[in-house]
Structure 1
Amino acid sequence: MKLIGMLDSPYVRRAAITLTLKGIPFEHLSLSLSVFRNFGEFQSINPLVKAPTLIGDEGWQMVDSSMIIDWAESVGTGASLMPSEPAARLRALRLLGLALTACEKSVQIVYEGKRDENHRDPAWLSRVQGQLTSAYAALEQEATGRNGWLIGETLTQADITVAVAWGFTQLMQPELIITARHPALAALSARAEQLPAFMALPPT
């Protein structure tokens, strides 16, 4: 089994960490989507050129980190990374929505920065930055006062995705989301990054 995509993508990294935690062996192929680097090679494997792409040993392909994670839950080993109790599951889904919004807005800002300066839209960029700030404000509120993980004492997919999102934003936009203003998220991410699955898959 192969997982294609750069680990500096939060979507690739959350999928890779989940596969590892669920005991599903895979080979990681670190191909970039950049037209100047591995675009042609990636396209020859998957014409969609979408990361992450998971390729099964039988030759099937799957894209989108949430789909890959859902599949991993159904075939992997160990306890589920998603709570089954309704109230806890609702909280996990809410947190995932916030974290994935943070990922999306961070990625949008990165790509806008790659555009020629004359073609950038300052008003749109300001709106996206506001959405990013709001997502992290909500996540900080949700994380404040939590002595364990975000949902009890057990690591869940919410913790994985929030920590990966935080790490990506700090890598790409540390000037927008200040660590000192988000101490609970910074602490959660630091704790997660000490886990073997996170350490084995750094965002390089």
Structure 2
Amino acid sequence: MILIGMLDSPYVRRVAIYMKVMGIEFEHRPLSVFSDFDAFTKINPAVKVPTLITDDNQVLIDSTLIIHYLGKYSTHSAAPASSSEAEELRDLHLTGFALAACEKAVQLVYEQRLRPEEKQHQPWVTRVTQQLHGAWQTLENGLREGHPDMLSVAGISIAVAWSFTELMLPDTVNCARYPEVARFRLLAEQRPEFLATPLI
């Protein structure tokens, strides 16, 4: 399998760590949707990361769909899973808010770094920032009640999302505001699968 995309994307990194947890061997091609746009269009005309090329040359996009495919059809050892319906529901709840945090963080990064300051729409920035904090506060509250397995989809998603958000938006979020999230991320980032898949 071939995973395409830069690891500074939380979505690409999420899939890469999951594949390592599953023990799936893959080639990583760190193509950028910006500097490698023309080359990327030849592989995936939508130029979206992550892009996964399966062993039978099917092109899959969207990190959640890729993880679903890998979890359902891989012959490798399964990643840690919830043991009850209640735990599974909680993991889905946490994963959803981690992905929402990723989405809002990426929107802010694009708005602040790609759009000239005089063309930034402040009401939109304020709205997205509020949504970002709403997602992180929900995750902070959830982690105070208990931690998911760090190598589960939920655990990977939370840790990857926080690492990206803290790196890219240090003036917007900080560890003091979300200490439980920061502590969880710190522990997760010490796992071999995370260390072997650095954000930068």
Normalization by structure 1: what TM-score?
0.92
SS in 2 for 1:92: helix
Q: CA RMSD in A?
A: 1.4
Q: CA deviation at 1:177?
A: 1.0
CA distance 1:154–1:115, change in 2 (3 Å): closer
Does structure 1 retain, via aligned residues, the 8 Å contact 2:101–2:135?
A: yes
Aligned positions of 1:43-54 closer than 5 A: 43-54=41-52
Does structure 2 retain, via aligned residues, the 8 Å contact 1:22–1:76?
A: no
Match of 1:183 in 2: 179
Q: Which runs of 5+ in 2 are unaligned?
A: none
Does structure 1 retain, via aligned residues, the 8 Å contact 2:18–2:151?
A: no
Match of 1:26 in 2: 26
Instruction: Provide the C-alpha distance between the structure 2 equivalents of 1:80 and 1:29, rounded to a whole number of angstroms.
Output: 23
- The one-letter amino acid of 1:79's match is A
Instruction: Provide the C-alpha distance between the structure 1 equivalents of 2:27 and 2:150, rounded to a whole number of angstroms.
Output: 27
Q: Structure 1, residues 177-204: CA drift from partner, whole Å, max 9, x if none?
A: 1111211111110111011110011112
Q: CA deviation at 1:145?
A: 5.3
Match of 1:202 in 2: 198
Match of 1:123 in 2: 123
- The one-letter amino acid of 1:106's match is A
Match of 1:62 in 2: 60
Does structure 1 retain, via aligned residues, the 8 Å contact 2:150–2:188?
A: no
Does structure 1 retain, via aligned residues, the 8 Å contact 2:5–2:31?
A: yes
Match of 2:99 in 1: 100
Does structure 2 retain, via aligned residues, the 8 Å contact 1:92–1:158?
A: yes
Q: Structure 1, residues 35-84: CA drift from partner, whole Å, max 9, x if none?
A: xx111111111111110000123211100000110111121422343325
Match of 1:163 in 2: 159
Instruction: Provide the C-alpha distance between the structure 2 equivalents of 1:69 and 1:117, rounded to a whole number of angstroms.
Output: 37
Does structure 2 retain, via aligned residues, the 8 Å contact 1:15–1:68?
A: yes
Match of 1:72 in 2: 70
Match of 1:134 in 2: 134
Instruction: Provide the C-alpha distance between the structure 2 equivalents of 1:109 and 1:154, rounded to a whole number of angstroms.
Output: 27
The share of aligned pairs that are identical, in percent, is 45
SS in 2 for 1:144: helix
SS in 2 for 1:131: helix
Q: CA deviation at 1:154?
A: 6.7
Which 4+ runs in 1 deviate beyond 3 A?
Answer: 79-82
Instruction: Provide the C-alpha distance between the structure 2 equivalents of 1:86 and 1:123, rounded to a whole number of angstroms.
Output: 40
Instruction: Provide the C-alpha distance between the structure 1 equivalents of 2:38 and 2:75, rounded to a whole number of angstroms.
Output: 32
Instruction: Provide the C-alpha distance between the structure 2 equivalents of 1:79 and 1:171, rounded to a whole number of angstroms.
Output: 30
Most deviating of 101-110 and 50-59: 50-59
- The one-letter amino acid of 1:192's match is A
